[in-house]
Structure 1
Amino acid sequence: MTAIPDHLPERLAMTLWDFSWYVRTGPGEPFEDLDAAFAKAVDLGYNAVRICAMPFLLFRSGIDTSALRLEPLGGEYGSRVRWYDVREPTVIDAKAHLLDFFRAADRHGVAVISSSWEYQQSPAFADDPAWYEALHAVDPEDRLTVLGEAQADLVDFLAEHGLAHVIACVEPHNEVQIGHLTAGLPGVEDAVVELQDRLEAGIAAFQARHPQVLCAPNYGGVPLASLRGLPRNATALAFHPYVYGVLDDLVDGFGLRRDAAAFPQDAADAALLREDAPRIPEWALPEANAWKLKASIMQPAEIYVHDWCDPEKFDRWLYDHYGAHRIAMANRLRDWIDAAADHAKRLGVPVYFGEGWVGYTPRDARFEEGPVGAQLCRDAVAHSARVGAWGTIVCSNAAPQHAMWNDEALQRECNAAFLDR
């Protein structure tokens, strides 16, 4: 049985700051003042944050990060896409900024889960492709091992500055089965199963240097049909129970994750889009920034709809169709949390839910904050507590870079319920 180290909280009430904590540091951005962001988080009842700590960039890329230039994707592209809506270019000394972050976390008594989004989104916000190219120069078979070593380098770096105790857990990477870490797999079985050897190698590389620090594989969803592929050397487990349901119907019905050439423009115009929306072929990144789409895993059709939807139309579509999914979504949420907790018990490790609950909605949509989404948040947090989860979130959108941060009452309620205050 893997025990939670004594210096860490018995339960983690987490807020998801992903890569936003360094790409959104410009004037007026939500992380311009890290101390203010941490103070607000503590006030809302959080005691942990989960981030992309950019470990590959800082410790394995060979890139000089003393003046790392970060920027929006390009023009207005992605400007109304949740997580992608960076407003201001900025320049940071990345290692110094990492230290500032951990020092602020330490001052405010907040634990940190260190992950990496580098094979999914993070490099898309650099002003040149060097970071992206360095990541993809690594042989796919070795990527998780290199990430494990990079996370070990990160812990060494923090230890040199007296900050290693702030780390609650490391993850080799966010949602390992969704993104560029699956490159080169046979594709015969589910990616969770086929990634097992690579992931075990990455965890082993980290544990060889820091056996005292918890190390968790992180999965999008809870892969019920392939849980046999969980790494046997994990010392914690992390899952993201996005239940989708009614959102799946919208994503599938309008082809948001398929070839943009087949996009149902007329149907989307009527049901989802603003009157001034351009046609989908007209909405693309500037040619000079085309590499950024490769550095991200979002499909052009999904970006287009998120950028150009009428948020009220989008939400209304979900409410109109929610009734047919209500019971199934509630059941999936409960079953996934149960299954995740059960397999953690089988392996004798802590489990936490680092993201969830409905799914990926446009920046200005409010389904997750509304009466349906808010109740799903309450139910998920309560069930996380019932199964003995080490950590959970109020919702992925309950963070400084999202409008839900302003719903203070819901966050205080859920965090207090989870922490039993």
Structure 2
Amino acid sequence: MTISLWDFTWYTRTGPGEPFADLGEAFRQAVERGYDTVRICAMPYLLFGSGLDTSALRFTGLGGEFGQRTRWYDVPSGPPVDGRAHLLELFRQAKAHDCRIIVSSWEYQQSPSFGVDDAWHRAMQAVPRADRTVALADAHAALVDFVRAEGLDDVIAYVELHNEVQYSGLHAGEGVVGLRASMERGIDRFKERQPAVPVTVNYARVPVGEMRGLPRNMDVAVFHPYVYGVLGQLYDEFALRDTSRAFPQDRAFAELLRDGAPKLEDWRPPASWKSEATIVPHREIYTHDWCDPDRWDRWLYDRYSEHRHAMRETMETWLAVAADHAAARGIPLVFGEGWVGYTPLHANFEEGPVGTEICAHAMRRARDLGAWGTVVCSNAAPHHPMWQDVALQRRLNDEFRENR
């Protein structure tokens, strides 16, 4: 499978001129670039577990201009969406274009933050933590029944109960090993209801040292190998995710931000529940919104040589460990996201000469290790600037298929 990450954007950006205004056209462009699979948040709990009216869903960003230069969060207010009808249209268009769909959920990470009201968020939080994997399993199983009734269940490549489970609202600090029992309960529940459909969960990075914590009943080994490296140094030095440390405002002005950028405390979303419904910290969105993309990229290029070998070695280790785990279990291996990390919408490090070489190397290694599926990188999708590089995506997808 050559996978394009459509995440939740296939339903948050459907207005005129938006990348998913015409799902048929989106699939046509995907096939043109060499993709045969898309991976989505199918909003399963919202559609099939919450009991909410989903016939006219409305989506918007985090409020005003907040998040509008941040990747995935640059969501304009759009037209109403009939959730179930839109899901069926996605499946119909996938089948028409000979593509498959990886059905997943981001609902305990950020999908509900795009709603115009907090009903979805409240419905998710109302499920007791101990019951969440089973609730997701039941919702996914109902989704399969729904598309099967339309003769479209053969489009499903496999189901993931949830995205990046160790960094989601499915846990309370247990870690990968501590999560195993809960993940296994959810997978068992789904198998009871849909024994013919492969099911799994996926993990951010590759949890080397905790592989024993992966569910023993998963049907697909799915990992997201974001190596970060030099990008991790930037995140650490500017404390973008460590809110226990002071944000280095003066240094950010000098090294990363655009002229005229406000201070951190002056750039906030309108007071609402939305900040609670996303895992991305306020200071990370602020820095992405107000960075000068050239400054950001230069910061990374200036320091990349110090990380180059470590990043390559980390990638090699992670991919090899992931492949070994899949082989030991006798299940397929998929890299559903990757490779460098989370960069601002208009920054170009991952799309530039260094980043694309990292993508190319990772895809070749995935191919050589026998992976069933992989991404070019997480930014290769209709809602990211990298989508315009048709030749790169076509070349790397063709290379992945060599000798398959």
**Residue 147 of structure 2 aligns to which amino acid in structure 1?**
L
Q: Does 1:221 align with 2:210?
A: no
Q: Does 1:370 align with 2:359?
A: no
Q: Does 1:247 align with 2:224?
A: no
Aligned equivalents of 1:260, 1:399: Cα separation in 2: 34
Partner of 2:7 in structure 1? 18
CA contact (8 A) 2:239 2:245 kept: no
**Residue 25 of structure 1 aligns to which amino acid in structure 2?**
T
* 1:252 CA displacement: 0.5
Aligned equivalents of 1:71, 1:243: Cα separation in 2: 31
Give 3-state SS (helix, strand or coil) of 1:76's partner: coil
CA contact (8 A) 2:231 2:340 kept: yes
RMSD between superposed Cα atoms in Å? 1.0
Partner of 1:151 in structure 2? 140
Q: How does 1:286-301 map to 2 (within 5 A)?
A: 286-287=270-271, 290-301=272-283
CA contact (8 A) 1:27 1:88 kept: no
Partner of 1:9 in structure 2? none
Q: Does 1:397 align with 2:379?
A: yes
Q: Does 1:267 align with 2:251?
A: yes
Partner of 1:120 in structure 2? 109
Partner of 1:106 in structure 2? 95
* 1:213 CA displacement: 1.1
Q: Does 1:38 align with 2:23?
A: no
Aligned equivalents of 1:323, 1:20: Cα separation in 2: 34
Aligned equivalents of 1:357, 1:132: Cα separation in 2: 29
Give 3-state SS (helix, strand or coil) of 1:82's partner: coil
Partner of 1:8 in structure 2? none
Aligned equivalents of 1:92, 1:306: Cα separation in 2: 29
CA contact (8 A) 1:398 1:405 kept: yes
Aligned equivalents of 2:293, 2:79: Cα separation in 1: 29
Could you give the per-residue CA deviations for residues 313-361 of structure 1, whole angstroms, max 9, x where no partner exists?
A: 0000000010000001011111111111100111111010000000000
Could you give the per-residue CA deviations for residues 255-285 of structure 1, whole angstroms, max 9, x where no partner exists?
A: 1012287110000000000011111001111
* 1:415 CA displacement: 0.3
Q: Does 1:198 align with 2:182?
A: yes
Q: 1:137 aligns with which of 115, 118, 126?
A: 126
Partner of 1:167 in structure 2? 156
Q: TM-score, normalised by structure 2?
A: 0.98
CA contact (8 A) 2:40 2:105 kept: yes
Q: Does 1:382 align with 2:364?
A: yes
Partner of 1:4 in structure 2? none
Aligned equivalents of 1:84, 1:282: Cα separation in 2: 19
Aligned equivalents of 1:147, 1:90: Cα separation in 2: 27
**Residue 253 of structure 1 aligns to which amino acid in structure 2?**
E
Aligned equivalents of 1:233, 1:136: Cα separation in 2: 26
Structure 2 segments unaligned to the other structure (5+ residues): none
Q: How does 1:205-216 map to 2 (within 5 A)?
A: 205-216=189-200
- Give me the identity figure in percent: 55
CA contact (8 A) 2:319 2:365 kept: yes
**Residue 141 of structure 1 aligns to which amino acid in structure 2?**
A
Partner of 2:46 in structure 1? 57
* 1:88 CA displacement: 3.2
Could you give the per-residue CA deviations for residues 175-232 of structure 1, whole angstroms, max 9, x where no partner exists?
A: 000021113x5x4xxx111110000001001111112111121000000011100100
CA contact (8 A) 1:258 1:301 kept: no
Partner of 1:312 in structure 2? 294
Give 3-state SS (helix, strand or coil) of 1:65's partner: coil
Aligned equivalents of 1:103, 1:412: Cα separation in 2: 24
Aligned equivalents of 1:72, 1:33: Cα separation in 2: 20
CA contact (8 A) 1:23 1:70 kept: yes
Partner of 1:324 in structure 2? 306
Structure 1 segments unaligned to the other structure (5+ residues): 1-11
Give 3-state SS (helix, strand or coil) of 2:58's partner: strand
* 1:89 CA displacement: 2.4
**Residue 23 of structure 1 aligns to which amino acid in structure 2?**
T
